[in-house]
Amino acid sequence: MSDKKNHQDLLRDLITHIRENEIPFYRKEANAHYAGWHVFVALSILLSTAASLIAALVPAEQLKEPLIRGLLIALPILGTTVTAFMRSFSFHEREKNREVGLIEAERLLRKVESKFANANSEEEYQKAFLEATDDLAKLSHDQHVLDVATRKGIQIPAIGTSR
C-alpha cells in the first residue's frame, strides 16, 4: 500500500494542523503575554507603593535601621528593574501581535474548511490546498515582521492575510 496522499487528504491534514497547532499556539502565546504584562505592571506598582508607604509611615528615627534603609534602597531598584523587563520583553505589543495571529489563524481555518466543503475534484482540492499553504506561510511571515518591528520598537499597523 502506498503512503501517497491525494490533495483532499492533504487539505484535511492542513485543516487539522491549523486547528490543533496554529490556533492553540497563538491563543497560548497571547494569553501568556497578556498575563506577563499584567504581572509585571502589578509588581512594578506594588514595589513602588511599598517603598512610598515605608518612607511615609515609618517613624523618622527608624529610617536609619539597616533593614528599613535596605528596603528603601532595594524596592525602587527592583521596581525600576521590573519596569525595564516589562518594556524590554514588550509583553503588551507581543500580546497584540499574537491576538492578530489568532484572529487570522481562525479566519484561515474557516476559509479552508469552506473550500474543503465546496471542492469536488482533485484539482479543486489541490487549488484550495496550495492557496491555504500560501495563506499559512503569509501568516507566519506577517507574524515574524511584527515581531521584528516590536523588537526594534517600531509600531506598525496589524497585518493579515488578504481579505
What confidence tens digit (pLDDT) does each residue in 11-54 have?
999 999 999 999 999 999 999 999 999 999 999 999 999 999 99
Residue 75 lies inside a defined structural domain of this protein: yes
- In the predicted model, what is the mean pLDDT of the chain? 92
Whether residue 78 is predicted with pLDDT greater than 80 in this model: the reply is yes
Domain that holds residue 105: 7-152
φ, ψ at 154 (rounded to 5°): -95, 130
Sequence-distant (6+) residues with CB within 8 A of 62 are 68
Q: How confident is the model at residue 137 (pLDDT cuts 50, 70, 90)?
A: very high
Residue 157 lies in a domain: no
Other Cβ atoms within 10 Å of 33 Cβ, number? 21
In a domain, 33, yes or no: yes
Flag whether 159 is in a domain: no
Residue 84 predicted with pLDDT over 80:
yes
| Number of domains observed in the structure of the chain | 1
**pLDDT at residue 105, as a whole number:** 97
pLDDT confidence band for 163 (50 / 70 / 90): very low
Tell me whether residue 163 is in a domain. no
Q: How far apart are CA 112 and CA 19, in angstroms?
A: 11
Residue 20 located in a structural domain: yes
pLDDT confidence of residue 161:
47
Residue 158 located in a structural domain: no
The pTM assigned to this predicted structure is: 0.80
pLDDT reported for residue 26: 97
What was the pLDDT predicted at 1?
Answer: 52
Q: What is the pLDDT of residue 132?
A: 97
Does the residue 27 lie in any domain? yes
Tally: H helices and E strands in the chain: 5, 0
- CA 44/CA 3 separation, integer angstroms: 56
Strand ranges in 4-162 using DSSP code E only, listed in sequence order: none
The share of the chain scoring above pLDDT 90, in percent, equals: 82
* Residue 159: pLDDT over 90: no
pLDDT tens, 91-101?
889 999 999 99
